[in-house]
Structure 1
Amino acid sequence: MAVVGIARSLHSYHHFTLWRAFFEELGWQVVLSSRTDRQTVEQGVKLAPAELCLPVKVFLGQVARLLEQVDYVFVPRLVCRRLKGDFYFGCPKAIALPDLVRAIFPEQKGRILELVIDQQIQRDEVGFVRCAKALGVDRQCAQGAFQQAKKAEAEAGKLRVHGPSPADCFPPERLNSKPGAGRGKIGVIGHPYLIYDEHISLNLLRMIAELEIEPVIPGIGEEELIQEAGRALNWYYELELIAGARKLVREAQVDGLLLVSSFACGTAPVVNELIRREVAVRTGLPMLTLLFDEHSGETGLRTRLESFADLIRSRK
């Protein structure tokens, strides 16, 4: 049985269930990369151009490990999705991810398995069929695998909206992403690959819980994204952040907002400012922005969180 490797980073936190189910329906074994550690980061930093954000560097470190373990490494190209008649684009770096991987690992080009998702030019099914064709799978078999994978994704999506974190789809362990309630609530807004990667975020959620503050992370479904469509920027995954911030303020009665971003993220400054203007300023909620890179340290993070927690308690 041939083996396909999937990196535990970036948009795997959104789509791992879909991808895993697709390949398993085709009869392939799926190997998920190990959880991020110092070695992963160091290897990614050595491989990546300096201007890339930390999550992409981590992705490259995980790809390097997978290339030592599997037959193929799966690298998606998430270009564009359609919502309510408008097109919403992926992260600029993620759009070029397969090209980046091939440039960094030129001798492994034949082992990079690319999936193109671009709803401007084709249905998602077409992208999956073409991906399977590279593995020698015929169209009919690939179409059947895609339909089964979509069913698995729909079931996982229902769970995410009602509680479990996107990281819970990664076997075999579940992350402790829902600490008990304390003296106040902080709404945490950020991409899942930042919030739920305990190494990148320096155990952010655990630190918040230790301060007896409950971190509240919004679950956003497709219908909620459609409602937000046309009101914000044309970046698909950033639309999730904006919708999440509005949902927190509207439903969760949080005492403050924590915006989690990575240094060198091209979209973060715009999105964070939009959230600040539309949500925090209008509601008067205190807001703290955290930027993570490979040089971030736990001591500085803990100090900032303690100060923010004191501010929230003083307002109650």
Structure 2
Amino acid sequence: METTLRDAARAEDAILTRAAQQGDAPALAALLERHRPGMRAVALSLLGPGPDVDDVMQETALVALRRVADIRDPQAVGPWLRMVVRNACRSLLRESRRTEPVDEVPLPPDGASPEQLLDRHALRDWIWEAVEKLSPALRLPVVLRYFSSGVTSYQQIAEACAVPVGTVRSRLHQARALLAQTLADTSASAHEDTARRTEASWREAHDTLAAAERGEFDKVVRDRYSPELSLLSGGHRLGGVGLMLVGMDSDLSAGVRQRPRHVVAGRSLVVWEMDLVNPPDAPDHCPPGVAWIMSLEGGRIGELRLYHATRPAARRELRAA
């Protein structure tokens, strides 16, 4: 009898999982509710009682929304969800010890990147619609945490947003709670095509850098950036359009090139993560990468935050601290 019930439960899991992978939001909600006791038990065993357990449960729901397409065996959705919880707990514990996090969710064996998974995710447009309804202060840490590839730890987000780590935790907690309601409110509304917007942003990133190498960066800046642009790093305003042009020209003159590695594109917030390629005779001229975190106002970029990736040596020093 027990085997029969277990097989029936797994068969129902498979039906719900396949429906969720086709964009059925109620099916995903049903899956999360069915497996909530087991997921919560895993979180409690690793974290103990406390508010972190609720945060991990909310985070797991968001990860499930983004990554349900990962699941190769729909009958194994329960173990997959518990693995997401386990990895989120371990990431939280690592971050509390100021070490570098690893991916929150194991990628499928085909080697697809998180961005590729998001692009083929049937629920992606619905998720983005909910994210866009958050306030700018809450939207930025959410986008970095769940959609960027290299600015995901609490410490990195804190540096990019120029706020304490505790504020990042608080804002993510608020954002996850609001997203749960917003997702419900927007489930039946029309959603934009996120994949098309991301593809267009990829092209724009490549075209921008190509124009810069041709000496035409000023034309791109005039077309896409506000004349009142604020260029920030570490929360400090460094300057505006003029400094942006000088900075790009200085890097190119030094032989430094940028190559797009990852793109996140919302209506109001765009992130271009770039690899920085230094010249052979000056391999340490620039850090290994930079993220352009751009806020849009009226279709033009009004604020550009630059977040430079930490050098490997600096990461080792951080872990040793």
Larger proportion of helix: 2
Greater relative CO, 1 or 2 (CA 8 Å, sep 6+): 1
TM-score calculated relative to the size of structure 1: 0.29
Higher Cα Rg: structure 1 or 2? Answer: 2
TM-score calculated relative to the size of structure 2: 0.29
